[in-house]
Amino acid sequence: MSVAPDLARAAEAIARRHIALGAPLHLLDETTSTNDEAKRSAKEGALHGATWVAESQRAGRGRQGRAWMSARGESLLFSVVLRVPCAPARLPPLALVVGLAVRDAIAVALPSADVRIKWPNDVVVGERRLKIAGVLVEATLSGANVDAIVVGVGVNVHARAFPDEIAAHATSIALAGRGDADRAELLADILAALDRDVPIAAARGLASLHARLSTADALRGERVRSETSAGTAEGIDVDGRLLVRADDGALERWSSGEAHLVR
């Protein structure tokens, strides 16, 4: 089996952006996880920009040990190795920078949809805030330093049905109204935004991206809960933490875990 035509054009679409990411490009029919491919290769010296794209994953992973499920050919599944100077503390906020890149690329494909970032790593669509994409940022370390960053992205593109476990909360570009989305263009758009924004955020933090992040924030003004707390989301701070006005009036800054939308 080989990759479908809308992915086979990926190298061409990337070349048109004149960027450092997306080369070398490894187009795989199947793998365990593109993040595994990228991490293993990063440890063996893969250079900045090396990218793995797969039609299917046998063991796709999400945050917090969850599985990432996608049927063959229905998603954009990729991981890219980034070698930019980055303090370990800047890694969690980078997921938001990646989320913004993915959000913007999906918004190009779905110009009339409301596409937003749901802290800390999801891209959601519409009033029901259905998940359309997820981001997994990992790193290889050299002692206490970040040696390479591996950015993994999964976007639901052509899927028209989902497994029972996620069906109530998931959607795709096809279900949101665009049946002819081109995964090569989507990939190239995301890589171009990462090429532009990640070095800045890794060096200086989120400040210069903060206005765009706030506009795209799916949780602002919404009631949210974590495992231990609940309140109203008041935005994302420049360190990438979710600001939550707790029910006792205190302003909390959530830096990890999940924020569940309560409606």
Integer CA distances (angstroms), 261 to 117, 118, 136, 139, 213, in order: 13, 9, 20, 29, 18
Exposure of 71 by Cβ count < 10 A (0-12 exposed, 13-18 middle, 19+ buried)? middle
Q: Which of 62, 73, 126, 199 binds ligand BTN (CB under 6 A)?
A: 62
Segment near ligand BTN (CB under 6 A), from 86-94, 97-105, 132-140, 189-197? 132-140
Segment near ligand BTN (CB under 6 A), from 63-71, 172-180, 188-196, 233-241? 63-71
Give bridge partners of residue 125 from the DSSP assignment.
Answer: 115, 130
Of 226, 144, 201, 131, the closest CA to residue 171 belongs to: 131
Q: Which of 39, 63, 129, 241 binds ligand BTN (CB under 6 A)?
A: 63
Structure tokens at 174: 């096809």
Q: Which of 97, 135, 188, 243 binds ligand BTN (CB under 6 A)?
A: 135
As a whole number of Å, the CA-based R_g of the chain is: 18
- The least distance separating ligand BTN from the CB of residue 155, rounded to whole angstroms, comes to 8
Q: Which of 3, 6, 41, 61 binds ligand BTN (CB under 6 A)?
A: 61
Q: Which CB, 67 or 203, lies closer to ligand BTN?
A: 67
Residue 31 in contact with ligand BTN, rule: CB under 6 A: no
149 phi-psi bin (left φ>0, alpha ψ -120 to 50, beta other): beta
d(CA 224, CA 221): 9
- The least distance separating ligand BTN from the CB of residue 240, rounded to whole angstroms, comes to 16
Residue 239 contacts by C-beta under 8 Å, 6 or more apart in sequence? 93, 205, 206, 253, 255
Total of chain residues touching ligand BTN, rule CB under 6 A: 21
Residue 106 contacts by C-beta under 8 Å, 6 or more apart in sequence? 113, 115, 123, 125, 132, 133, 155, 173, 186
Q: Which of 10, 13, 25, 35 binds ligand BTN (CB under 6 A)?
A: 35
Are 156 and 70 in contact by the 8 Å Cβ rule? The answer is yes
Contact characters 77-116, ligand BTN, x per CB under 6 A: xxx-------------------------------------
Q: Which of 22, 60, 120, 240 binds ligand BTN (CB under 6 A)?
A: 60
Judged by DSSP in three states, 199 sits in helix
Q: Which of 134, 205, 231, 240 binds ligand BTN (CB under 6 A)?
A: 134
- The least distance separating ligand BTN from the CB of residue 49, rounded to whole angstroms, comes to 17
Contact characters 142-181, ligand BTN, x per CB under 6 A: ----------xxx---------------------------
The site for ligand BTN (CB under 6 A) is made up of 33-35, 57, 60-63, 66, 68, 77-79, 121-122, 134-136, 152-154
